Structures are given as C-alpha cells and as structure tokens.
C-alpha cells in the first residue's frame, strides 16, 4: 500500500528456515510459521502508516473524532497496508531471493508458499475493503482499494522494475493514508488534506533514496532501476535536496490551511524541518567531497522527523 519503506531486514534467520527445501513450507514449529506470516505484512510499514492517518483525522474533526471511527480506520487501514505488503512479497519473490537485504523473507526461505501468501494477501484486502465500506464511506473505501491496487499492480509489478521514476510515482500510494483518514471523517477532501498529502509524498523521496544508496549494489544485482543505481551521484543529491525542501515547505503550508492550528504545530514543524534539511545537506556534502556517505543516518532521522511532525499536529488539535 505504501512506498513508506520497512527498516532493513536482519541477515540472520532461524536454521530451520534457512535450510528449508525449495517449494515446501517449514513444518514443525507453528510459531515460526505465524512469525513468517506476520513478517509478510511488514509491521513497521503499518506502524508508520498509522502515524500519518490518525492526526489528519483529528485535524479534519477539529479535535478528537469518534473513537469507533478511529478504531475502524486503524483496523481497516492496517489490514489494507498488510494486504498490499503481502501481495508485494508475492510479486517480488523473484528479486527478493537475490537481494541480501530481502533474501531472508518468508518466501525466499520457503517458510510460506507463494500460493498461501497470495491467498493471505487477497483475504486481507477483501476484509479491509468490506470493513471500510460498511463503517466509513464510499470515498474512503475507494481510496483504500485503489491504494492496494496501485501499490501492487502499478508500482510493484510495473514502475519498480522499469523506471528510475518508480519512487516518485510510487509515492502516491504511500501518501494516501492521509487522505483516507481525512475523508473517513468528512466524506470529502480539503486544501489542508492535500497539503498533508504533499508532506508525505515529498518526504518519501529523500527517505527512500537514502535507503537505495545504502543498498545500491543489491538493487543493481536484482536489475531494479532505482535512481542511485542508474543516475550519477550529483543527480541523486539534487533530488534529495529538492524533495527535502519541498517536504518542509509543505509542512509550513499546512499551518495556515489547517483551521485552528497554532504554534504547537508550527514551531515543531519549523524546528524538526530545519534538522531534516541539515541532515539532507550533510549527506549531499559528504557525497560531493568524496567522503564516507552515511545514508542511513538520513533514513532513520527522516522516520523520526515524520513521527514528530504528525504528533505535533495531533497535539495541536487537542489544545
């Protein structure tokens, strides 16, 4: 469902999983199988998506929305994001097995069969869609279903494998949880919702480019044309800086557009935005100088940045 990326997967794996025969699911330890199915859902992605869903709901409601509605959107959104991730793992099983970062996932290690993973993902998608349709509104439901389809069919199956613009266009589905949360409350969209969408959309480029720099050799081995694989360092640096600045400018635009937002949001937005820009400029300066590039520093800080920003948004709606 999203271009918001999971954290790097550990290279370690249980011996029983690592030694599994091709085409057969690991048997004997049901807990390992349960863990494998949970891993397919990429829980850290789900966690990050929820951070960008609830605060927009609060801003749309002008305070705390119905707790029942929040619960429905959280459960429905979690299931939708999980479904998208599981189907993504099914589609990407061919490249996951040749990338060091992903070769310990459940499908490359044969802990879960491709057929079972696909069924699992489709069931999660169906349940999330029904849940949203019954308890929210048609627009929130349509956005939820479209996000799953876009992430798996447009991004994973096509864009990711064919163009270095994959991160840019794939960022659309990564930012839709903002819109889903908003329309679940209001039934329509507003300028503030689109400004928040822009924040998450632009944020994904420096966030994901940092990860792609770190695992450039992995993507090259798998034949995936991520920007750091196919473009010169100067191009990657320029895009990191451009989209970092656009992210911060979008956060500032939210301030006047969000009815009732005050300094509780505005001041942290400026402060954490400044730190975010400093880290982005540090990364590009090191690259230009030929020094040791530390892309994961920007990657991890960008996650913290987005969390702090949306927490400040939520707090401001309550004070």
Q: Write out pLDDT tens, residues 84-96.
A: 999 999 999 999 9
Summarize pLDDT for 275-297 with one digit per residue, the tens.
999 999 999 888 777 767 788 99
Question: Which has more confidence, 210 or 20?
Answer: 210
The string over 61-76, giving b where at least 16 C-beta atoms fall within 10 Å of a residue's C-beta and e elsewhere, is beeebeeebbebbbeb
- C-alpha dihedral sign at 238, 288, 216, 301: negative
Quote the pLDDT of residue 18: 40
Q: Which of 14-18, 81-85, 123-127 bottoms out in mean pLDDT, i.e. has the lowest?
A: 14-18
Residue 7 belongs to a domain: no
Flag whether 41 is in a domain: yes
d(CA 86, CA 316): 35
Helical H segments across the chain, by residue range: 15-18, 30-40, 43-51, 54-61, 67-91, 93-96, 114-135, 138-149, 160-162, 166-186, 191-214, 216-222, 227-230, 233-257, 263-289, 295-318
User: 118: domain CATH number?
Assistant: 1.10.600
Q: Is residue 2, in this structure, part of any structural domain at all?
A: no
pLDDT score of 9 more than 50: no
Host domain of residue 299: 15-318
In a domain, residue 44? The reply is yes
Which residues, including other chains, have CB under 8 Å from residue 199's CB and lie 6 or more apart? 175, 178, 247, 250, 251, 254, 309
Structurally, the chain folds into a number of domains equal to 1
In a domain, 132, yes or no: yes
pLDDT digits (tens, 9 = 90+) for 203-254: 999 999 999 999 999 999 999 999 999 999 889 999 999 999 999 999 999 9
What's the mean per-residue pLDDT of the chain?
89
Tell me, yes or no, whether 57 lies in a domain: yes
pLDDT at position 4: 56
Say if 1 falls within a structural domain: no
| pLDDT at position 5 over 80 | no
As a whole-number percent, the residues of the chain with pLDDT over 90 amount to 79
pLDDT bracket for residue 11 (50, 70, 90):
very low
The reported pLDDT for the residue numbered 1 is: 55
Encode pLDDT of 130-183 as tens digits.
999 999 999 999 999 999 999 999 999 999 999 999 999 999 999 999 999 999
Asked whether residue 245 is domain-assigned, the answer is yes
pLDDT of residue 17: 40
154: Cβ–Cβ under 8 A, 6 or more apart, which residues?
Answer: 169, 170
């Amino acid at each position: 469902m999203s271009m918001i990326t999971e954290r790097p997967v550990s290279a370690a794996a249980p011996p029983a999983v690592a030694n599994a025969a091709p085409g057969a699911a690991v048997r004997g330890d049901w807990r390992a199988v349960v863990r494998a199915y949970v891993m397919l859902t990429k829980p850290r992605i789900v966690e990050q998506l929820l951070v960008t869903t609830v605060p927009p709901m609060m801003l749309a409601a002008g305070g705390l929305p119905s707790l029942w509605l929040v619960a429905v959107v959280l459960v429905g959104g979690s299931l939708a994001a999980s479904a998208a991730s599981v189907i993504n793992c099914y589609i990407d099983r061919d490249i996951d097995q040749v990338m060091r970062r992903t070769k310990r996932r459940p499908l490359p290690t044969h802990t879960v069969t491709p057929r079972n993973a696909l069924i699992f993902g489709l069931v999660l998608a169906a349940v999330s869609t029904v849940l949203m349709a019954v308890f929210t509104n048609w627009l929130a439901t349509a956005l939820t279903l479209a996000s799953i389809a876009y992430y798996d069919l447009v991004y994973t199956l096509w864009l990711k494998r064919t163009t270095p613009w994959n991160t840019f266009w794939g960022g659309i589905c990564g930012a839709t949880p903002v819109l889903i949360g908003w329309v679940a409350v209001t039934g329509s969209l507003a300028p503030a919702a689109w400004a928040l969408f822009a924040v998450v959309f632009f944020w994904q480029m420096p966030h994901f480019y940092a990860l792609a720099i770190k695992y450039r050799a992995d993507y090259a081995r798998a034949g995936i044309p991520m920007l750091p694989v196919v473009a010169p360092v100067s191009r990657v640096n320029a895009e990191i800086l451009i989209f970092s600045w656009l992210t911060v400018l979008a956060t500032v635009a939210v301030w006047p557009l969000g009815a009732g937002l005050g300094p509780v949001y505005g001041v942290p937005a400026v402060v954490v935005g400044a730190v975010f820009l400093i880290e982005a400029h540090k990364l590009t300066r090191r690259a230009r100088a030929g020094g040791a590039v530390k892309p994961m520093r920007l990657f991890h800080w960008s996650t913290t940045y987005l969390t702090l920003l949306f927490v400040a948004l939520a707090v401001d709606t309550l004070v």
